[in-house]
Amino acid sequence: MSTTETTASGIGPVEGASLYDVDNPAPVIESPRKRTNKTPKSTRGNFEMYGWLFMRLSGIVLVVLVLGHLLIQLVLDGGVTKVGFAFVAGRWASPWWQVWDLAMLWLAMLHGANGLRTVINDYAEQASTRLWLKGLLYTATVFTILLGTLVIFTFDPNIR
Amino acid sequence: MATPVLDKAEAEAQAASPYITVTFRVRRFNPEVSAEATWEDFQLEIDPKERVLDGLHKIKWDMDGSLTFRRSCAHGICGSDAMRINGKNRLACKTLIKDINPEKPITIEPIKGLSVLKDLVVDMEPFFQAYRDVMPFLITKDTNEPTRERLQSAEDRERFDDTTKCILCAACTSSCPVFWNDGQYFGPAAIVNAHRFIFDSRDDAGEQRLEILNDKDGVWRCRTTFNCTDACPRGIEVTKAIQEVKRALITRRF
Ligand code: HEM
Ligand code: SF4
Ligand code: FES
């Protein structure tokens, strides 16, 4: 049979002879990161389990912390217009709000970072892409958590 | 005077004809002809009480013998013919034409997340690799040849009844967005089949299987989207089975 012939199915070369035939088929599109018998066997440890639990537990606490935060910042007492240096300084004078903000900082950052780690695991195909994206993510996370913690503890309301 | 009577009978027979015209819009791929997959429409006369598989047979047998798909039992038992029909994973042999709006073209595609080899046939090897990796067979501490039946109470049997119904069609795994993006994830079907043995009182390797699914590509990658439960042609509560494995993993620690 001629290879240039359009099959009954109507799939044929767009123009001229087909590049492919029985002995030279088109490459099959591989599914991403497919499982083979060389896929490494089970790794010990419970990291993923603790990560999964942490997402749920931190989520529950975040509902209170974040909604409370939004309510205070954006709704009560004249809404967002009241927020200024004096307002922040006033709140951080109280250890209660210091602890509140510290907990929110750590939980939201770790929760968000672990969530993004999941997203990277889902979408980055190559081992090197995964490594770099996670490296960037962890650097940004550690930096933000440390900077935020430093500011909460060393905040000086009399700064000029 | 016989003529009008006959005409009337004929007209009634016409009106009562069960056949309707439907369009099957099939995703076709033949690597021996082109690297591109294309949609192809087929018009067929079919009784809406027939199944999508019957329509595919009509195409293959009477219109275009090159159409390639898997089927074996044609009665929802062998699990060969899972495909994406109107955007949902179903078995072609269990989907009636009348149930999927035959007014519009019916789209038929291969299941997603596995390499398409030709038309509706995909490479099932990665799917079965994940299945084998959970050790889907009875393992007992006592390695001697049994001398009598392994008895089990009705309640113990009931514990894992739902997951014994799996026919390994891959409708669930190939509906899972995590699996689409990362084939290293075990996927719902492998977890369902691990569940079937983990919760079997006669089996002694539950702990080992739990450890396998505690892996970074195990149950913790499940995001509870329920696509698997929606897809399962056997009505297995797939997401619930996954959740039960998660719970078993957590409670064995705490
Ligand atoms: C307000 C209360 C919150 C609750 C109850 C909550 C709950 C959750 C839960 C349960 C998951 C896991 C989903 C899964 O595994 O399928 C998750 C994922 C995630 N969360 Fe939160 N979260 C909250 C706030 C936040 C905040 C403030 C951030 C950002 C800093 C965030 C970022 C993420 C990200 C990036 C993911 C991963 C998304 C994904 O898995 O597709 N969440 N959240
Ligand atoms: S659980 Fe259901 S959808 Fe998944 S492979 Fe088994 S029968 Fe098919
Ligand atoms: S052909 Fe066997 S399940 Fe459909």
Q: Which domains does chain B have, with CATH numbers?
A: 16-122 (3.10.20.30), 125-253 (1.10.1060.10)
Residues of A within 8 A of B67 (CB-CB) are 9
Position A89 in a domain: yes
ipTM score: 0.82
pLDDT band at A6 (very low <50, low <70, confident <90, very high): very low
Position A38 in a domain: no
Interface test with B, best of A35, A57, A120, A121 (most B CBs within 10 A): A35
Contact across the interface for A48 and B214, Cβ inside 8 Å: yes
* B119-127 mean pLDDT: 96
Of B40, B114, B220, the CB nearest to A52: B220
- The residue whose CA has the least distance to atom 7 of ligand 2 is B166
* B190-207 mean pLDDT: 95
Position A17 in a domain: no
| Percentage of residues in chain A having pLDDT higher than 90 | 49
Question: What's the pLDDT score for residue B3?
Answer: 52
Position A11 in a domain: no
Range of the domain at A86: 47-154
- Residue in the structure block whose two tokens are 């099939």: B26
The top-scoring range by mean pLDDT among A92-101, A105-114, B143-152 is A105-114
Position A24 in a domain: no
Position A3 in a domain: no
Contact across the interface for B40 and A9, Cβ inside 8 Å: yes
Domain count, chain A: 1
pTM: predicted TM-score of the whole model, two decimal places: 0.87
Q: CA B194 → CA A101, A118, B4, B44, B207, distances in Å?
A: 44, 24, 68, 42, 11
Contact across the interface for A35 and B184, Cβ inside 8 Å: yes
Question: What's the pLDDT score for residue B4?
Answer: 54
- Among candidates A139, A141, A146, A147, which has minimal Cα distance to A115? A141
| Cβ pairs A/B, distance under 8 A | 121
Q: CA B119 → CA A28, B39, B251, distances in Å?
A: 12, 10, 45
- Among candidates A39, A148, A44, which has minimal Cα distance to A98? A148
Greatest CA separation for chain A = 89
User: Is residue A59 scored above 60 in pLDDT?
Assistant: yes
- CATH (domain of A145): 1.20.1300.10
Of B32, B36, B181, the CB nearest to A22: B32
